Amino acid sequence: MTQNPSPKAALRAQARAAFLHKYYNAVPEQVTALDGDASFRRYFRVIHKDSRLILLDVAPEMGDVQAFVELNALFNKGAVRVPQIMAADCALGFVLLEDLGTVHLADRLGAQQDVPGYYETLIEMLPDIARLPLSPHMKPYDAAFIDMELDIFSEWLLTRWLGYEISESWQRQWRALKETLILAMQGQTQVTMHRDFHSRNIMWHQQQWVVIDYQDAVRGPVCYDVVSLLKDCYHTLPQDQFEHLQRYSFEVLSKAGLLADRSYADYQQQLALTGLQRHLKAAGIFARLYLRDGKPGYLQNILPTLQYVYDAAKCVDTFQWLATCVQSEIIPLVKAKLEQRK
């Protein structure tokens, strides 16, 4: 039995149809909803005659597409390939984009022989992104924001999903860890970063890589996009490939003058600490997507993300408490929760 859409959803569908009719001067032949975005944004594939486009739909009460449009122009000026915008109505929250197809970096991994070559090409893009000028649409990635991101882990993963009891001792060590990570991230060269530069946000189209989901770009630590790419929550590189690409990223960023004469050992430490912050946040976001947004599909990514957290924490003396906690308490609790869902 098909449920009738809510009055709000029906009004949104009418607005969507009107926007498309205005662009095509006709009713499109086919409009298909696409799944998989970890946000309030909705995407539709629109087919009409020989035209295939993607419609981005963000209801104004949920968000603003102005940053998406403005940062699209910024990335284009910096010679970073992003989707071409065909039409937009920022007041209504609609953007019509070129259709890049369905092949992401994630789809070209696995059995492909040239995986290191893919990553080397993408690493070579990072200086171009890093040098993009500051935009008014980039939110400040300051200490308060980094702190807030980290608390997504303690609130949504530990407290809300796992029901983990946070002791005073744990809270005290957590505060010290956050201070250390904030200092480590703010002590790096601050550049423009994509912020989600991973295998699901990079597409292969017409024999080149195209970057999507750039609308949350900010100014932040130079290691962040390297971490997003090489310690991807959706794909774990073999250790030998990771070590090669970590060294390659150091060489590329050093040659571009973005590492302030840091040694490779310093760079590895920065990468590890930046990754620890990102993965703590990501694990919390995956739990939040399930609890708040009704998207259970990301729960499967929590365990590999926690493995990154454990691997980084165990290498820092003052973070041994977190490594022990993740390995002996948090991972077993997550496994039990996932088992209950089967």
Give, as one character, the DSSP assignment of residue 95. Answer: E
DSSP sequence for 124-186: TTHHHHHTSPP-TTSPB--HHHHHHHHHHIIIIIIIIII-----HHHHHHHHHHHHHHHHHHH
Dihedral over Cα of 321, 323, 327, 331: its sign = positive
CATH number at residue 88: 3.30.200.20
CATH number at residue 245: 3.90.1200.10
Whole-number pLDDT of residue 41? 85
84/110 same-domain check: no
Residue 334 near residue 309, CB atoms below 8 Å: no
302/217 same-domain check: yes
73/220 same-domain check: no
Confidence label for 125 from pLDDT (cuts 50, 70 and 90) = very high
The span from the CA of 234 to the CA of 300, in Å, is: 9
Question: Tens of pLDDT along 24-53?
Answer: 999 998 999 987 655 678 999 999 999 999
Question: Tens of pLDDT along 278-292?
Answer: 999 999 999 999 999
Confidence label for 79 from pLDDT (cuts 50, 70 and 90) = confident
With respect to residue 153, please indicate whether it lies within any of the assigned structural domains.
Answer: yes
The span from the CA of 278 to the CA of 127, in Å, is: 20
Whole-number pLDDT of residue 1? 43
Cα radius of gyration rounded to whole Å, the chain? 21
With respect to residue 165, please indicate whether it lies within any of the assigned structural domains.
Answer: yes
Give the domain-ending residue among 56, 72, 98. 98
261/307 same-domain check: yes
Find, among 222, 198, 209, the residue nearest to 301 by Cα: 198
Domain that holds residue 219: 105-340
Confidence label for 110 from pLDDT (cuts 50, 70 and 90) = confident
Give the domain-ending residue among 98, 126, 141. 98
Average pLDDT, the chain: 94
Say which range, 10-19, 36-45, 213-222, 291-300, has the weakest mean pLDDT.
Answer: 36-45
Give the domain-ending residue among 75, 98, 121. 98
Say which range, 82-96, 102-116, 169-183, has the weakest mean pLDDT.
Answer: 102-116
Question: Tens of pLDDT along 144-203?
Answer: 999 999 999 999 999 999 999 999 999 999 999 999 999 999 999 999 999 999 999 999
